Amino acid sequence: MDIYPVVLAGGLGTRLWPVSRESLPKQFLSFVGEKTLFQQTMSRAGKLASCKPLVVCNYEHYFHCLEQIEAMSGSGLAANYLLEPVARDTASAIALAALDLEKKFKNIDPVLLVMPADHLLDNPEHFKEKLVAAYKQVNDGKLVTFGIEPSEPATGYGYIEKGVAIDADTYEVSRFVEKPDLTLAKKYISAGSYLWNSGIFLFKASAYLQALKKHAPDTYIAAENAYNTAKSGKDFMRVGKEAYERCPKISIDYAVMEKADNIVVIPLDTMWSDLGCWSSVAKSNIEDSSRNVVKGDVVIIDSENCYLNAGDKMIAALGVKNQIIVATNDAVLVVDKDHAQNVKELVEKLKNDKHKTAFAHEKVHRPWGYYESLSMGSNYQVKYIVVKPHSRLSLQLHQHRAEHWVVVSGKALVTNDGLTIRLEKNQSTYIPKGAAHRLANETDEPLIVVEVQSGEYLGEDDIVRLQDDYARAEKKAV
């Protein structure tokens, strides 16, 4: 049974703010157990197939994938990557994967096992058994989706209504239904013919592309055009931004699954969660005798049915019920559990207000290390920068700001407007606005630099990358 795992790692996990943010979304975080959701998915993929998984993710998150696989010492895991410049939902992401695998395996019609990177799934052996039944359907030209036997009338999931039984493991799909209200969800559970929509699929590359071409031709054409712009690196293909932005933002459910007539569903009787909100996270962790889940330094008295995550802070709660309280260094979320699905609306408001906590943490991880903003005011910002050994930032320029670098610890190799200099502790250099520059650490020790920015605009989007080691450059060096 030859299958090719496709791991979709492009989600943002907005409802798990303030822990999950655009720069570090939920799939790269651990909410249940020590491994991140991405690591758990990659481990599952490694057990289900002998070939390298194909990971589809945003190009800004490529280094997160590399680091997290490297951290799984002894796993033997490796992957290939398709890098998206912008998010365009699952229909286009899966189309890129199907086109890529068709191109790489010209003599066969590869079978894709599509799995989101941010879901929990228990009992992989049970899943593997069901894959055998699914593989048979795929060889008959079917598009297979997997449904989860529901354990409660959940309102945060879509549902699949089972139709006529094809065999003991497989059913025709009667219909897909959107997330219901509680009354409707209870009716679905009572009917006994509904499954949660897991977002996991198995199909041949050609079958999916043919269905996409038939039912969402604009998405097919745009995805194919975008794939043809892709440039390859050591283990990745990076899709052109302008072409990919033309892809409609649409899910595989809307584009194909709700329209095609060759869809079948196979139930999975296992613990599963998409961890779509903080209430889902709470349900996936162990409760105390008062139905509370606590993480970190938490003191709680006379409270019940709460989720409290202190992060690096301390939370004291007295007489609270049915509440979610999550703290990070720069934000605190307080929400009633019944409103957990609506955190996304709160984040949208923060984005509209251009609040920095909507996008990144104070400590922002980058492939070369990390930085923290120490102070910001009118026309200035001070950053603390740490560059990992044998790493370097992109060769870049800024159109609206100048920078002053002071080496605090370590040794820096600096490219500044065509000149290369070496700086040690207490030495500094000035980077004029518009000058091509780069900071590198060629030593075995971390490099620590304090950066002072000055200019009329200090946003992170004022970066023109000319060369980059991590597939983020849009322009060639001049």
What distance in Å separates the CA atoms of residue 77 and residue 222, rounded to the nearest whole number?
32
Task: Just give the CATH number of 362-467.
Answer: 2.60.120.10
Mean pLDDT, range 274-287, rounded to an integer: 94
Per the prediction, the chain carries an average pLDDT of: 93
Domain ranges of the chain: 4-273, 287-348, 362-467
What would the pLDDT profile of 183-223 be if each residue is shown by its tens digit? Answer: 999 999 999 999 999 999 999 999 999 999 999 999 999 99
What would the pLDDT profile of 312-371 be if each residue is shown by its tens digit? Answer: 999 999 999 999 999 998 999 999 999 999 999 999 999 999 898 988 888 888 889 999
What would the pLDDT profile of 1-53 be if each residue is shown by its tens digit? Answer: 689 999 999 998 999 999 999 989 999 999 998 999 999 999 999 888 878 99
pLDDT computed for residue 478 by the predictor: 30
pLDDT computed for residue 193 by the predictor: 95
Q: What are phi and psi of 341, to 5 degrees?
A: -70, -15
pLDDT computed for residue 47 by the predictor: 86
What distance in Å separates the CA atoms of residue 219 and residue 409, rounded to the nearest whole number?
51
What distance in Å separates the CA atoms of residue 319 and residue 301, rounded to the nearest whole number?
6
Q: Which residues of 431-441 are buried (b: 16+ CB within 10 A; e: fewer)?
A: beeebbbbbbb
Would you give the DSSP letter of residue 254? Answer: I
pLDDT > 90: what percent of the chain?
83
**pLDDT-based confidence at residue 476 (cuts at 50, 70, 90):** very low
Q: Is the pLDDT of residue 475 over 90?
A: no
What distance in Å separates the CA atoms of residue 309 and residue 377, rounded to the nearest whole number?
31
Q: Nearest-CA neighbor of 414 among 396, 434, 439, 431?
A: 439
> 4-273: which CATH architecture?
Alpha-Beta Complex (3.90)
Lowest mean pLDDT among 85-94, 265-274, 463-472: 463-472
pLDDT computed for residue 474 by the predictor: 58
What would the pLDDT profile of 72-84 be if each residue is shown by its tens digit? Answer: 877 788 899 999 9
Contacts of residues 348-351 at CB distance under 8 Å and 24 or more positions apart, as own/partner, are 348/14
What would the pLDDT profile of 356-383 be if each residue is shown by its tens digit? Answer: 898 888 888 888 999 999 998 889 999 9
Using CA atoms, how far residue 264 sits from 132, 146, 203, 251, 465, in Å, is: 14, 8, 11, 18, 46
What distance in Å separates the CA atoms of residue 476 and residue 478, rounded to the nearest whole number?
6
